[in-house]
Chains A and B, each alone.
Chain A
Amino acid sequence: MTTQIDQPQADLELDTSGLLCPLPVYKAAMAMGQLESGQVLELICTDPGSLEDIPAMARQRGDELVHLDDRGDQQVFWIRKGTS
């Protein structure tokens, strides 16, 4: 579940602007693979499905969506890597 806290410090940034499903999720998963448990990925998406897809991805992977900035034509997600 999303916790509305202040924008957290990101350990890694990934911009998927212009990319469509499945690439934002695929690239985000690759990026999460580079992080340690507890570290945060800042993920920029423009895919219209991302508002649904990225929270679903976090839920399925066991990561935590800690913050979302919906800028209309662009969404920025902060995802904290879980223990898996």
Chain B
Amino acid sequence: MTAENSQESSNPKRLALVASKGTLDQAYPPMILATTAASLGWEVGIYFTFYGLDILHQDRFEKLKVPSLANPAGPIRLPNLLGAVPGATAAATRVMQKWMRDSRMPELPDFIEMSQELGVTFFACATTMGVMGVDESDLIDGCDIAGAAAFLDFAADADVQLYI
């Protein structure tokens, strides 16, 4: 093994992600990146903020939706006028879920479980909790409630930082 190939186990690389979206299609990318980075042996933390906090919300994370409005690349391609019809969001969500199932991709709750088993840190944005009336007991187990300073302290030493 060459020196440049070796990963110092005492000083792993670090990935800091911000997950700011609460729709199903936007919840997948941070979870895919997090599980991949953790599989590479990296230290990973995700800061779930604003609508992204729904990914950690016990009553919501299994019910995230794919928007049929203002989503021209979405799974059902409707003019916005039709995208507003009742049932269009549910239909778009079902199509994406079918895509994922047919591709044998894990569902979002599976990604959450995989991430936690790999030791990914879930930062729950304290301000979002205050603004949106989310209590600690509303969140899935194992979240770190943190403000921006605590996340930035983690991100300051990260090799890769991404906002999603």
A positions within 8 Å CB-CB of B: 1, 18-23, 25-26, 28-30, 57, 59-62, 64, 82-84
Q: Which of B1, B103, B114 has the most CB of A within 10 A?
A: B1
22 contacts between A and B (CB under 8 A): A1-B5, A19-B104, A20-B103, A20-B104, A20-B105, A21-B36, A22-B35, A22-B36, A23-B104, A23-B105, A25-B36, A29-B40, A59-B5, A60-B7, A60-B42, A61-B41, A62-B5, A62-B9, A64-B1, A64-B5, A82-B1, A84-B6
Residues of chain A with a CB closer than 8 A to B40's CB: 25, 29, 57, 60-61
16 extra interchain contacts, Cβ-Cβ under 8 A, other than A20-B105, A25-B40, A26-B114? A18-B104, A21-B36, A22-B36, A22-B39, A25-B39, A26-B39, A29-B39, A29-B41, A60-B13, A61-B7, A62-B41, A64-B5, A82-B1, A82-B6, A84-B7, A84-B41
Interchain CB contact under 8 A, A62 and B36: no
Contact of A28 among B39, B42, B106, B114 (CB under 8 A): B39
Could you tell me the distance between the alpha carbons of A57 and B1 in the complex, rounded to whole angstroms?
14
Residues of chain A with a CB closer than 8 A to B114's CB: 26
Chain B 128-158, CB-CB to A under 8 Å as 1, else 0, gives 0000000000000000000000000000000
Interchain CB contact under 8 A, B32 and A60: no
Could you tell me the distance between the alpha carbons of A19 and B6 in the complex, rounded to whole angstroms?
28
Q: Which of A19, A25, A62 has the most CB of B within 10 A?
A: A62
Interface set, chain B 1-57, CB cutoff 8 A to A: 1-2, 5-7, 9, 13, 32, 35-36, 38-42
Residues of chain A with a CB closer than 8 A to B9's CB: 62, 84
Give chain B nearest CB distance to A9 CB in angstroms.
Answer: 19
Give chain A nearest CB distance to B122 CB in angstroms.
Answer: 17
